[in-house]
Amino acid sequence: MTMIRVLLLLLASNAAAFAPVNIVSRDPRALVSSTRQYASTPDETEFDVLVNKNAKGAKQDTEERSERISLDLSKTTYTSLVKSAPDAYITFAEKGASNAHLPKRKIFHQSVLGGCYVGFGGLVSLMIAGNLGGIAGANPGVAKMAFAALFPVNLLLIVSTSGQLFTGNSATVAAAKYEGFVSWKDLWRSWSLSLAGNIVGCGLFAAATMMAQVMNPGSTALAINTAVSKCSAGLVPTIMRAIMCNWMVS
C-alpha cells in the first residue's frame, strides 16, 4: 500500500508539472479581452472608454489649433519689397510730378548738383580705365568694362542727394504728363531747367578738375578719344545712342 501511495503522489506531481500554464500577455488588446467581462456594458471596457476619451480630446485640440491658425492667417497682411509693374510705373510718374512741381530755383540747384556728380563718376572712370596700361592695349574690352562699372557711381550719388538729371526727368516727367499729374508748362519748365543745370554743373566740375590738375596723360588721352568718338558719329546714330542710353539710365 505504501508503494502504491508513493506512485500516485509521483503521478500527481508530474501531471501538475506538465499542465498548461496561462501566460499573461502585455498586449493592450489582450488586456481588453481579458477585462471585457468586468465592463459595465458588454460592448465597451474601461480601456475602450479611456482610449475614446483621449482620441476625442486630441481631435478637439487639433480643431482648436487649426481654427487659431486659420484666424491668424486671415489677419495676416502680406507685403513685398518688389513692386509690381503697374505700381512701379505709378511711382515713377509720381516721382516725375514731384520733381516738376518744385520751385524753379530748387530744380536748377538740384540739377547743378546732378551735373557735378556726373563729373565725379566720369573722373573716377577716366582715372582708372585710362591707366590700365598694357592690359587695356592687349584687351580693349577691359578698359570699357572698367569704365562702365565705375561710371554709375554718379547715379548713386544723385539718388542719395536728391539731385536731378535731364535724362531722368525726360522719362519721369513725361510719364507724369501722360498720367495727367503735370501740365505742359510744368514739363517744359522741368526739362529746360534740369538740362541747363546739368550743363552748368558739368562745366563747373570740369573747370575744377583742370585747376586741381588731377588728370594724368592716360586719363586725358581717354577723355579726348571718348569725346572725339562721340562727336564723330552721324546724327541718326547719335540720336539712337542717346535714346538707348536714356533708356538704361531711367
Q: What is the per-residue pLDDT across 204-246, written as a single tens digit (0 to 9) for each?
A: 999 999 999 988 888 898 889 888 988 888 899 999 988 888 8
First to last CA, the chain: 126
Q: Which of 209, 196, 247, 221 is nearest to 121 (CA)?
A: 209
How confident is the model over 81-109, as a mean pLDDT? 90
Q: Which residue has the higher pLDDT, 1 or 110?
A: 110
Torsion angle (degrees, nearest 10) of CA 238, 220, 120, 200: -60
Q: Which residue has the higher pLDDT, 32 or 154?
A: 154
DSSP secondary structure letter of residue 58 = H
Q: Report residue 61: phi and psi, to 5°.
A: -60, -40
Q: Say how far apart CA 178 and CA 181 lie, in whole Å.
A: 8
CATH of the structural domain 102-249, one choice from 1.20.1080.10, 3.40.50.720, 3.30.70.3270, 3.20.20.100:
1.20.1080.10
Q: What is the pLDDT of residues 138-148, one digit of tens each?
A: 777 888 888 88
Q: What is the pLDDT of residues 168-214, one digit of tens each?
A: 899 999 999 999 999 999 999 999 999 999 999 999 999 999 999 98
CA distances from 208 to 33, 139, 199, 204, 213 (A): 101, 32, 14, 6, 9
pLDDT for res 87: 86
What share of the chain in percent tops pLDDT 90? 34
Locate 126 and state its grid cell.
Answer: 577716366
pLDDT for res 166: 92
**Statement: the pTM of the whole predicted model exceeds 0.85:** no
Q: Which of 228, 230, 227, 246 is nearest to 238 (CA)?
A: 230
pLDDT for res 140: 75
pLDDT for res 212: 92
CA distances from 95 to 20, 33, 98, 112, 173 (A): 96, 80, 5, 19, 8
Residues 6+ apart with CB under 8 A from 156: none
Q: Confidence class of residue 247 from pLDDT cuts 50, 70 and 90? A: confident
The CB-side HSE value for 124 (13 A sphere, CA atoms) comes to 14
pLDDT for res 109: 95
3-12, 21-30, 134-143, 188-197 — which is least confidently predicted? 21-30
Extents of the domains making up the chain: 31-69, 102-249
Q: Which of 23-27, 60-64, 111-115, 132-136 has the highest mean pLDDT?
A: 111-115
